[in-house]
A and B are shown apart, each in its own frame.
Chain A
Amino acid sequence: MSSHRLKFRIALGLLILIVVQSLSAGEIQRCAVDDAGQELCVAAPAQRIVTLSPGATELMFAAGAGDQVVAVVAYSDYPPAALKLPSVGNHTRIDMEALLALKPDLVITWVTGNLPAQIELLHELGLSTFAIEPRTFEGVSGVIERLAILAGTEQEGFVEAERFRVGIATLLERYRNAEPISVFYQVWEQPLMTINNEHLIGKVLQLCGGVNVFGDMPRLIPRISAEVVLQADPHVILTASVDGASDDQLDRWKSYSTLRAVARNNLFFVPASPISRPTPRLLEATRLVCETLDIARERV
């Protein structure tokens, strides 16, 4: 059934393109709306793409357009092919000259991560930009499809988006009736930061049956004190580290033996990049978090 849905989606996408082509004399207009609400139409598939965030780099490769990316920014470390691409600085300080010299026809920006002043400069210099920032699972698959349309790689892109969609749906089905378990996700140790339910990581926790003890806070990434964590007394404390290896980020909690998470040894690490970036690797990250919460449920 999933391959039928996939074929339907590809057919629909191509149908839309054909319809648009018949309306505009001769040229296929590839249009997509970005996550800032702006519509971008390109006359031909973008061949020289610059990605201004590590997540955008991964998404571009996932959309099948890795060969069309000419430059990335620092920390664009996945997939390994991206390491060979030249860098134009980092997402907060872009080297405009290096970017211009590559003569890009499309720049993928990050809504909240790139500095507004630099985006304004890109527009003043006449570059086409497409801003992305997926906030939901559907947002991730949707952005892969939109990038594939702009890059002309619908074949691979729609397949990858569908794979992600199906994977998430499977996990959703499997963990729909999981017993709720309270979780505290530690983004950073000093200052102590966490995420609310609007954040993509918050959605991962929700899918796995985790109840984010700070899910209802108004800020996306609140800064909190140790006291409120002790008061909330979560069953699980989760944080991210390089490759998911245990490090010292959760050591401060070990001294509070009254914490349920500490008493039951429910302090876990997950790999940082897959869970922090809105890319297909989020599927694997979600699977891992769900399995981790299952282990925690055994111990409670």
Chain B
Amino acid sequence: MIRPLFTLGGLAIAAVLLALAWGSVNVPAFDLWQVIQGEGSALNRTLILDLRLPRTLAAFATGGLLAVAGALMQVLLRNPLADPYILGLSGGAAVGALLAMLAGMGTLLISGSAFAGAMLAILLVFGLAHGTGSWTPSRLLLTGVVVAAGWGAVITLMLAITPSYKLPGMLYWLMGDVSYARTPWPALVVLVVSIVLIMPLARNLNVLARGPMQAAALGVSVRPLEWTVYLFAGLLTATAVTTAGSIGFVGLIVPHMLRLVLGNDQRIILPASALAGGTLLVLADTLARTVVAPEQLPVGVITALLGVPMFLYLLHRSR
């Protein structure tokens, strides 16, 4: 059970080292080693420690957050098409961020506004779906999809009325851009703490995946568990979107890729998602900033280009 996690951990470390070594400026391995040891030229130190390291760690944290949130959503809603954004979280965060950009605020306030928007979206869907009587996943799903469409309309309106020179910044945020992340620590801390807190619940999540009736019959308190998972997934997604905008694909596909290889035990899938999601996004971001340098591509494009063939291969192999 532990071995796949070790493999994934090794891959993650390799990906991070690759990301530190690659860039539009060639830093030979020896110079990289010098910088890690604390020496090295000022330029290399700035490149590695001030540019590449925060960006790589932010990419890892964001990928991990999205993948875990996706896995949780897929268990909660018992729907393989669920992704972290299905309940309108990214829409709420986007409206918050775009409003802050429209008002000309600085990066910190934009991030704060995005987080507030995401929290508002969570509460909105939660409140609307609650209603009287049963609170079923399908009710939650429907409410979420409709609210997401509402946020989408607000985003389109804002894009239509914003002055032309502010549009590129807004579009890049919507496409997802890891270079926005000033510091990776909030995202990393949230990822690590969430994994630690959710692991004890993983066993119950396995039971919940069979259905609420069966879970209740087996002694799982279904409602509190569902609420907890929902809030966790929301917090993870909000942190991810606040850090790097709405990067698609990772949250939907990474848990499925892992299930094809490792089975559906949440005790493995959740930490594996964190590692695999992080690795995928680190690799995608490295490619996005080097493949046509000095032009910089949006990372969401690369995650799809990498992930689609990988997923299809795994799907094919699992037959």
Contacts and interface: CB of A to CB of B under 8 A. Distances in A.
A92 B43 contact: no
Contacts of B51: 96-97, 100, 125
Given A90-B295, A120-B106, A101 B47 contact: yes
A112 B165 contact: yes
A115 interface: yes
Interface in B127-180: 163-165, 168-169, 172, 179-180
A106 to B, nearest CB: 17
Interface in B37-94: 43, 46-47, 50-52
Interface in A109-168: 112-113, 115-118, 120-121, 124-125
B172 A92 contact: yes
B228 interface: no
Contacts of A95: 24, 289, 293-296
Contacts of A96: 51, 179
Interface residues of B, number: 24
A95 to B, nearest CB: 4
B107 A100 contact: no
B169 A220 contact: no
Given A93-B172, A101-B47, A115-B169, A220 B163 contact: yes
B151 to A, nearest CB: 23
A101 B296 contact: no
Contacts of B52: 97
Interface string B1-40: 0000000000000000000000111000000000000000
A97 B25 contact: yes
A103 interface: yes
Contact of B47 (A74, A97, A116, A120): A97
A225 to B, nearest CB: 13
Contacts of A112: 165
Interface string A198-221: 000000000000000000000111
A66 interface: no
A101 B294 contact: no
Contacts of A239: none
Nearest to B296: A93
A62 B52 CA distance: 36
Contacts of B172: 92-93, 115
Interface string A80-97: 000000111110111111
Contact of A89 (B25, B164, B169, B294): B294
Contacts of A15: none
Contacts of A100: 25, 43, 46-47, 51
Nearest to A221: B164
B50 A125 contact: yes
A113 B107 CA distance: 16
Interface in B269-319: 289, 293-296
Pick the most buried of B24, B43, B169, B295: most chain A CB atoms within 10 A of its CB. Answer: B24
A92 B169 contact: yes
Interface in B164-198: 164-165, 168-169, 172, 179-180
A75 B52 CA distance: 27
A94 B23 CA distance: 13
Interface string B239-264: 00000000000000000000000000
Contacts of A124: 50
Contacts of A113: 165
Contacts of A12: none
A99 to B, nearest CB: 9
Contact of B180 (A97, A103, A117, A125): A117
Contacts of A103: 43
A98 B25 CA distance: 6
A86 B43 CA distance: 19
A97 B23 contact: yes
A193 interface: yes
Nearest to B110: A117
Contacts of A94: 296
A92 B295 contact: no
A297 to B, nearest CB: 31
A92 B173 CA distance: 12
Pick the most buried of A90, A96, A100, A193: most chain B CB atoms within 10 A of its CB. Answer: A96
Contacts of A115: 168-169, 172
A93 B43 contact: no
Pick the most buried of A93, A98, A221: most chain B CB atoms within 10 A of its CB. Answer: A93
Nearest to A115: B169
Contacts of A120: 106-107
Nearest to A113: B165
A221 B162 CA distance: 11
Pick the most buried of A97, A120, A121: most chain B CB atoms within 10 A of its CB. Answer: A97
A209 B209 CA distance: 75
B83 to A, nearest CB: 26
Given A89-B296, A125-B50, A97 B24 contact: yes
Nearest to A89: B294
A221 B163 contact: yes
Interface of B: 23-25, 43, 46-47, 50-52, 106-107, 163-165, 168-169, 172, 179-180, 289, 293-296
The 4 closest A-B pairs by CB, nearest first: A95-B294, A92-B168, A101-B25, A112-B165
Given A95-B293, A95-B295, A117-B107, 4 more contacts: A94-B296, A97-B23, A97-B25, A98-B24
8 contacts: A74-B295, A89-B294, A93-B172, A96-B179, A97-B293, A101-B47, A116-B169, A219-B163
